[in-house]
Structure 1
Amino acid sequence: MDIPRRPGQPHPRLALPKAGLGDDLEAFQHWLQQAIPQVAHLGIQRMGLDGEALEWHLELAPSLNDKGTGFGGAMASQAILIGWCWLTLWLRQQGRAQDVVIADARQRFLAPVSGDYRLRCEPASADGVAALRERLTNRGKGRISLVQHLYCGETLCFEAGGDYAVLPSSPT
């Protein structure tokens, strides 16, 4: 059942998975479309995990600009969102239900996006996950830098990065 969204009212959390993520990506994508209504209009065809990377396959049509190529604002928004999703999914794998926010974002446009594309997100450094895990264990909150790369075919068209913060758990 779809829950209507209202300003100022948080959307209910998706229950944590019983073990790992497995088929959880489909349930997560459905929940995400309800929690953030704009997601239903981004053209996400599918989500997948590849090692430590989260990858989306997107259709271009919903993000066209006046020139018939990808709208930069849409790509920037998608990059921020896939980072938020990466960290939210990682926390779910750890059995942690904590809020995630974007703290800093930057992007670079390298080539026009002229067809359907894929967006990939992963930690910016090899020790990023271990450092985040340690901060969460010791302080209950933490930050991680993530990078996003957008490919149209084999062409790297856009790259972005962001620092994402895991907020302390709220008392229940």
Structure 2
Amino acid sequence: MTDTTRQPGEPYPRLPLPASGSREDLSAFHAWLANAIPMVTSLGIEKMQREGDRLEWQLALAPNLNDKGTGFGGALAAQTTLQGWCWVTLWLREHGLARDVVVAQASQRFLAPVKGDYRLVCTPRQTNGTEQLHENLQQRGKGRIQLVHQLYCGESLCLEAEGDYAVLPAT
């Protein structure tokens, strides 16, 4: 259920961090996300799963159709940006950190029309990306990570996207 009483400029309360050593409940995170960012309910995210440095979503095409009956590029771009934000936020939560994350830069390359339900996979661009992020957070109190997104419809790669996400200093 979306909170209609929240006003622009008013932050949504953070989701409590998982207990130390506990695994994130992605269903609870998805429910919180839908309240914190109201457009999430319209994006067709059916399932989130996380394994190691990989975040994968299963998405329905129906809420993301364009006038041609294929995936609307703007919705797909929004999904990649949101997924990157979620990747960094979940990584921080796993490390016991409640910090603000913003996208600094994003780009997409559309390779083929999306004609059915699809999956979106997000991973760090560099194999040592998480180690660099962790080191920067410890040394400078802030950090950045580059993420790559790949959208598959069946076995076809339909979109590749990149994002540069910043973890802001603690306030």
Structure 1 residues 126-147: Cα deviation after superposition (integer angstroms, max 9, x where no partner): 0110000000001110000000
Correspondence 1:1-20 to 2 at 5 A: 3-4=3-4, 5-20=6-21
Cα distance in 2 for residues equivalent to 1:21 and 1:118: 26
Structure 1 residues 27-78: Cα deviation after superposition (integer angstroms, max 9, x where no partner): 1000000000000110000100132110000000000000000000100000
Q: Does 1:39 align with 2:49?
A: no
Cα distance in 1 for residues equivalent to 2:21 and 2:10: 29
1:6 deviates by 1.6
Q: Does 1:101 align with 2:96?
A: no
Alpha-carbon contact 2:2-2:34 (below 8 Å) kept: no
What is the match of residue 139 of structure 2?
A: 138
Q: Does 1:147 align with 2:148?
A: yes
Unpaired runs of at least 5, structure 1? none
Bigger mean CA deviation after superposition, 13-22 or 123-132? 13-22
Alpha-carbon contact 2:2-2:38 (below 8 Å) kept: no
1:22 deviates by 2.8
1:161 deviates by 0.3
Secondary structure in structure 2 of the residue aligned to 1:62: helix
Q: Does 1:81 align with 2:69?
A: no
Structure 1 pair 21/77, CA: closer, same or farther in 2 (3 Å)? farther
Structure 1 residues 72-118: Cα deviation after superposition (integer angstroms, max 9, x where no partner): 01000000000000000000000000000000001100000000000
Cα distance in 2 for residues equivalent to 1:42 and 1:21: 28
What is the match of residue 168 of structure 1?
A: 169
Cα distance in 2 for residues equivalent to 1:75 and 1:84: 14
Structure 1 residues 7-28: Cα deviation after superposition (integer angstroms, max 9, x where no partner): 1100000000003563511110
Cα distance in 1 for residues equivalent to 2:22 and 2:107: 29
Cα distance in 2 for residues equivalent to 1:41 and 1:2: 11
Cα distance in 2 for residues equivalent to 1:54 and 1:118: 10
Secondary structure in structure 2 of the residue aligned to 1:8: coil
Q: Does 1:116 align with 2:121?
A: no
Alpha-carbon contact 2:24-2:94 (below 8 Å) kept: no
Cα RMSD for the two superposed structures: 1.3
Unpaired runs of at least 5, structure 2? none
Secondary structure in structure 1 of the residue aligned to 2:149: strand
What is the match of residue 71 of structure 2?
A: 70
Structure 1 pair 76/90, CA: closer, same or farther in 2 (3 Å)? same
Bigger mean CA deviation after superposition, 93-102 or 19-28? 19-28
TM-score, normalisation: structure 1: 0.95
Secondary structure in structure 1 of the residue aligned to 2:30: helix
The code of the aligned residue for 2:160 comes to E
The code of the aligned residue for 1:76 comes to A
Cα distance in 2 for residues equivalent to 1:46 and 1:20: 23
What is the match of residue 128 of structure 2?
A: 127
